[in-house]
Amino acid sequence: MKKVTKLLAVAFTATALFLTSNVKAQTTPVNALRLGIGVEGGIPTGSITNFSNFELGGTARLQYGLSNNLALTLTSGYYNFFAKGNTIAGVNYATKPSGQGLIPIKLGIKAFFTQNLYFGAEAGAGLETNYAKNTKLLLSPGLGYATKSWDVGVRYESLSGQSDSYGTVALRIAYGFGL
């Protein structure tokens, strides 16, 4: 809980920095394409906490404006859930195991409810790249703040399937531009 509080504090601080800078109002122009390249860090939740304390990744998000306040999104990239150490879930390994990799493929919406604040919702698949190499159902609600160039968002990402579920509370900071 302490780590989640710290992550939220960082998210609100970053949002406050963007709110106090001189920016133009965010709109999602109809039929316009934007691309955002982001870095994200998160705190794992669920069964993966036996294995990892931290997630770090990078994503690319393509955004298509349906109206001035609503856009479709397509997001993909790579997350790594870093292994805690040599002992995981009671099993002692001679060397530290590699992290659990995940390739998210998500389709979603981004709905602006004020000039710069938005609600996002995404759904898709999470492809595990190490160990069992399962495909997980991925659901992700979030809130964010976007300007013409920057996008800062906080979300919860749930991954479930194959009798296993876990997730992450994550912060994404991205730079975006029109195509």
Query: How far apart are alpha carbons 127 and 124 in whole angstroms?
Result: 10
pLDDT by 10s per residue, the chain, length 179: 445 445 444 444 444 444 444 444 455 678 889 999 999 999 999 988 888 999 999 999 999 999 989 999 999 999 999 988 766 556 666 666 778 899 999 999 999 999 899 999 999 999 999 877 899 999 999 999 999 999 999 999 999 999 889 999 999 999 999 98
pLDDT score for 87: 60
With beta carbons less than 8 A apart as the criterion, state whether 175 and 149 touch. yes
Domain 2-178 is of which CATH architecture? Beta Barrel (2.40)
Q: Hey, what's the torsion of the CAs at 112, 114, 116, 122, to 10 degrees?
A: -20
pLDDT score for 21: 42
pLDDT score for 90: 62
All structural domains of the chain with their residue ranges: 2-178
Q: What is the DSSP string of 9-69?
A: HHHHHHHHHHHHS--PPP---TT-EEEEEEEEEEEEEEGGGGTEEEEEEEEEEEEEEEETT
pTM: 0.80
Query: Of 172, 105, 168, 164, nearest to 131 (Cα)?
Result: 164
